[in-house]
Structure 1
Amino acid sequence: MKIKALLIFVVFFTITVKSQIIKQGIITYEKSYTEKFHAENKNKHPSFAKFKMIEEKTIDILKSIRFKLKFTRTTSTFSVVPSLIIDENMFSGMALIPEGKGQYYNDENNILSEKNTFGEDFLITDEPLNWVLKNETKKIGDYLCYKATAIERKMKRGGMKEYPVIAWYCPEINTSFGPVGLAGLPGLILEANKGRLRYTATKINLNPKKNIKIAKITKGKKVTRKEMNQMLGEAMGNFKKNKGY
Structure 2
Amino acid sequence: MNKIVSLSLVVFGLFTTIQAQDFQGMAVYESKTSTADMTSGFRGNREITPEMQKQIEERMKSMFEKTFILNFDKTASIYKEEERIEQPGQGGGMRFMSSMLGGGGTHYKNVKEKTFSVDKEFMGKEFLVSDSLPRLDWQLSGETKQIGNYLCFKATAVRKVEQSDFRNFRRNATAKEENKDEKKEETKEENKEEKKTTNFTDGWEMPKEVVVTAWYTPDIPVSQGPESYWGLPGLILEVSDGKTTILCSKIVINPKEKASIKAPKNGKVVTQQEYDKIVTEKMEEMRQMNQGQGGNRGFQMRVGG
* TM-score > 0.5 by shorter chain: yes
Which position in structure 1 is the counterpart of 2:76?
Answer: 75
C-alpha change, 1:58 and 1:44, in structure 2 (3 Å) is: closer
Q: Tell me what 2:263 maps to.
A: 216
Q: Which one of the candidate residues 140, 154, 160 is aligned to 2:162?
A: 154
After TM superposition, list the pairs within 5 Å mapping 1:17-96 onto structure 2. 17-19=10-12, 20-21=14-15, 22=18, 23-34=23-34, 36-37=36-37, 43-46=43-46, 47=48, 49=50, 50-60=52-62, 65-85=66-86, 89-90=90-91, 91=94
Distance 1:106 1:51 in 2: 39
Structure with more relative contact order (C-alpha pairs < 8 Å, separation 6 or more): 2
Q: Using the alignment, how far apart are the partners of 1:18 and 1:102 within structure 2? A: 34
Identify the residue that residue 190 of structure 1 maps to in structure 2. 237
Paired positions, count: 237
Q: CA deviation at 1:13?
A: 3.8
Q: Is the CA contact 1:69–1:76 (under 8 Å) kept in the aligned structure 2?
A: yes
Using the TM superposition, give the Cα deviation of residue 94 of structure 1 relative to its aligned residue in structure 2, in angstroms: 5.9
> Which residue identity is paired with 1:238?
E
**Amino acid of the structure 2 residue aligned with 1:129:** R
Does the C-alpha gap of structure 1 residues 179 and 66 become closer, same or farther in structure 2, counting only changes over 3 Å? same
Q: Which residue of 2 aligns with 1:169?
A: 216
Cα shift readout 1:53-81 (whole Å, capped 9, x = no counterpart):
22223434666x42110011111001111
TM-score computed with the length of structure 2 as normaliser: 0.66
**Aligned residues: percent identity?**
29
Alignment match, 1:15 = 8
Distance (Å, rounded) in 2 between the aligned partners of 1:172 and 1:96: 38
Cα–Cα, structure 1 residues 99 and 75, in superposed 2: closer, same or farther, change >3 Å?
farther
CA distance in 2, matches of 1:97, 1:190: 28
Among 229, 246, 259, the residue aligned to 1:199: 246
Deviations 1:60-106 (A, max 9, x none): 4666x421100111110011111223698435776798573411001
Q: 1:169 to 1:87 in 2, by over 3 A?
A: farther
Between stretches 172-181 and 46-55, larger displacement belongs to: 46-55
**Which secondary structure state, in structure 2, belongs to the residue aligned with residue 172 of structure 1?**
coil
Q: Distance in 2 between matches of 1:143 and 1:201?
A: 11
Q: Do residues 229 (structure 1) and 265 (structure 2) align?
A: no
Identify unmatched segments of 5+ residues in structure 1: 1-6
User: What letter matches 1:226 in structure 2?
Assistant: Q
Report the aligned-residue RMSD: 3.3
Report whether the alignment pairs 1:114 with 2:119.
yes
Q: Is there any run of 5+ residues in structure 2 with no aligned partner, and where?
A: 167-203, 296-305
Q: What residue is the counterpart of 1:145 in the other structure?
A: 152
Q: Which has the larger radius of gyration?
A: 2
The answer on whether the counterparts of 1:59 and 1:95 sit within 8 Å (CA) in structure 2 is: no
How far apart in 2 are the matches of 1:237 and 1:79? 28
C-alpha displacement of 1:123: 0.9
